[in-house]
Chain A
């Protein structure tokens, strides 16, 4: 109990201290959070209303969305629990400390499980509550449906977390983490290659919603708990309470069974896995590899290469970092895996257009999230090492440039993804260029904004840096989203009005001049944020 109380006390102290030190900031953030929830609610509501307006097709889509949503959540929360458990329970100084106390490994595991559950599924739980609330409202299902559905969500989320924890415990006890991920990567790569062979397109619109569709097929696999919860909720809606109850019982049974398995594995493997992953004890000899030799071949100044080596190696040797990248791109990977199954050519022009918009939005969203997560904290992560950088004879501007170059790798990845999407969908030439330019310049702007704001808000005097969760991180996210929304509204809004003949303009001219103006604006914005961050960085003190 004491070890749980510590977390609650810490949380209370953080909030109390923050409110005392920055009352306006506290109110601003609380309001921001409240408004974000309202915004998400309205966004989901709009989506539901749109689908509702489609009639029968919308209804089919909505039901399919249930299965797919829960399948994706099962995968995402499972992956997230794996990563969170690894970093919270195994590669963590607190665990180290707890093991010196007279606490059984079981008690330590209990605490870590509760933490993992809250961290991994807290936000999805909130979103699901909103989702179900709106679904019940749109379909006039009443409050009782909403309240009952909460009983379905809880075991499902626990199951998702338990799956990640079990996978984490077993793989970390018996395997090397790098080997586990190499193996997973290999399996996915083979799977991708084999499923890439062209399939005949069906001219029927219903094909998109049929079982031939890989993700739908997978989401309808009756063995998966995601199928049970979707089926249970849909049966509840159809007033088939007996069937619904069976699925609910399935969920609870599996939840308790997995909990038993977690405890069984915990008793056997938790301490062992902890010993294997212990931070201080690892004295691995890391030899120079082919990657080093390849990087050495790059025609760059030696100091540039040194920083490049340092940043890349720090990133690759920290599983918490690269695992998140894998999760982000893993989701996109599944999305693009399914793109080839779209009978794009048989769709109407508005649907075609919608898919292009969604793809661009998806790639830019991921790019924006990744820059906030990985580029923004780049300066803060230097933390105590910054004195070394500042004392070095290399100008700070050059190091700034190096960081920008590393960050730009996100631009390359995003560009590759949108190119794959465009090639698979065989989109028209003008849309091909439009989306490619939007994604590449947009991603570069995200990098510059994040790096600039990261430099502006970094505080090298603090021992424990929580850059992303800070006000700067929030501001970065808001600016990125504003830029993203503005970009998409300008281009796709006007093209949409043109397609629906509500606005008649020469689209070729608009694209040329519009894009030119937008590129200039983006470059000015990037330059502005870079200068802002760089100037502030030059004058920063460090402890």
Chain B
């Protein structure tokens, strides 16, 4: 589903991502972990087609993302600071998002109603987005990305500003997505989310993927028990003295 070969991105003289080789299979929940400035956001923006790779190739569903905008129909992208049309109502924005992804009108209507209901936004659907709190905006972004049933979902820092109810709901929905065969690639700082949801965990530091595998594989590799210890051992060179 997601494949990169020798992917690299350089900003002026700084390599944000280097020699990144990913091969994420269908139905996999992949968590990208890394310290601040490790290159997680850049990787996700490269995969979403927002940045042009300096080197290497990106294939999503077998198509090169840099040359085809058609493949984006099957991708959902939730950035860390998402953009919303502030002067639209929640419902209008969702209708726009569905129409852009060519979701059939009847189906779109049902889906909007369904998601507004489970995200507890039905009462707020006619208010302007600019008047919503950060958490409500985040929920709207999630719904807009669920409407077209993406086969690949890219999420950057997924749970910022959400209340416990929304977090539980989103975790459940994301897991359901992967069970249906969609692939989720998520970058996060919250280690217990990764521990709970991820099938594969990738640890990135200074632009390079330093390790990846299932949680048990990472435990074996590092001889550490918790993900926190694994993460610290892999990303801090003098972990012994830490």
Interface residues of A (CB under 8 A from B): 2-3, 5-6, 9-11, 13-14, 17, 93-94, 96-97, 99-105, 271-272, 275, 278, 280-285, 463-464
Closest residue of B by beta carbon distance from A104: B69
Q: Contacts A5-B96, A13-B87, A13-B88: A100 and B12 contacting too (C-beta < 8 A)?
A: no
Please list 8 pairs of residues, one from A and one from B, whose beta carbons are closer than 8 Å in the complex, sorted by A's number: A6-B96, A100-B72, A102-B71, A102-B72, A102-B100, A275-B51, A282-B11, A284-B11
List the B side residues contacting A275 at CB < 8 Å: 51-52
Shortest 10 CB-CB contacts between residues of A and residues of B? A10-B87, A97-B83, A102-B72, A283-B11, A102-B73, A275-B52, A100-B77, A93-B83, A2-B99, A13-B87
Q: Is the CB of B69 within 8 A of A278?
A: no
List the B side residues contacting A97 at CB < 8 Å: 82-83
B interface, by DSSP: helix, strand, loop or mixed? mixed
Expressed in whole angstroms, the minimum distance between the Cβ of A97 and any Cβ of chain B is 4
Contact of B130 with A by CB under 8 A = yes
Bound together, the chains give a CA A11 to CA B85 distance in angstroms of 11
Which among B9, B12, B50, B70 has the highest number of chain A CB atoms within 10 Å? B50
List the B side residues contacting A2 at CB < 8 Å: 96, 99-100
Closest residue of A by beta carbon distance from B73: A102
Q: Is the CB of B130 within 8 A of A464?
A: yes
Closest residue of A by beta carbon distance from B14: A283
Expressed in whole angstroms, the minimum distance between the Cβ of B140 and any Cβ of chain A is 13
Interface footprint category on B? 35 or more
Closest residue of A by beta carbon distance from B11: A283
Closest residue of A by beta carbon distance from B74: A102
Closest residue of A by beta carbon distance from B134: A463
Contact of B89 with A by CB under 8 A = yes
A interface, by DSSP: helix, strand, loop or mixed? helix
Q: Is the CB of A272 within 8 A of B52?
A: yes
List the A side residues contacting B31 at CB < 8 Å: none
Bound together, the chains give a CA A3 to CA B128 distance in angstroms of 18
Stretch at the interface among B41-49, B179-187, B193-201, B220-228: B41-49
Q: Is the CB of A103 within 8 A of B69?
A: yes
Bound together, the chains give a CA A17 to CA B92 distance in angstroms of 15
Closest residue of A by beta carbon distance from B93: A6
Closest residue of B by beta carbon distance from A272: B52
Q: Is the CB of A285 within 8 A of B13?
A: yes
The 8 Å CB contact of B100, one of A13, A101, A285, is: A101
Q: Is the CB of A6 within 8 A of B12?
A: no
Closest residue of B by beta carbon distance from A284: B12
Q: Is the CB of B101 within 8 A of A464?
A: no
Known: A3-B100, A6-B96, A102-B73. 11 other contacts (CB 8 A): A2-B99, A6-B88, A10-B87, A99-B49, A102-B101, A278-B51, A281-B51, A283-B12, A285-B12, A463-B130, A464-B130
Q: Contacts A100-B77, A283-B14, A285-B12: A464 and B86 contacting too (C-beta < 8 A)?
A: yes
Expressed in whole angstroms, the minimum distance between the Cβ of B94 and any Cβ of chain A is 12
Which among B49, B86, B87, B100 has the highest number of chain A CB atoms within 10 Å? B87
List the B side residues contacting A17 at CB < 8 Å: 87, 128
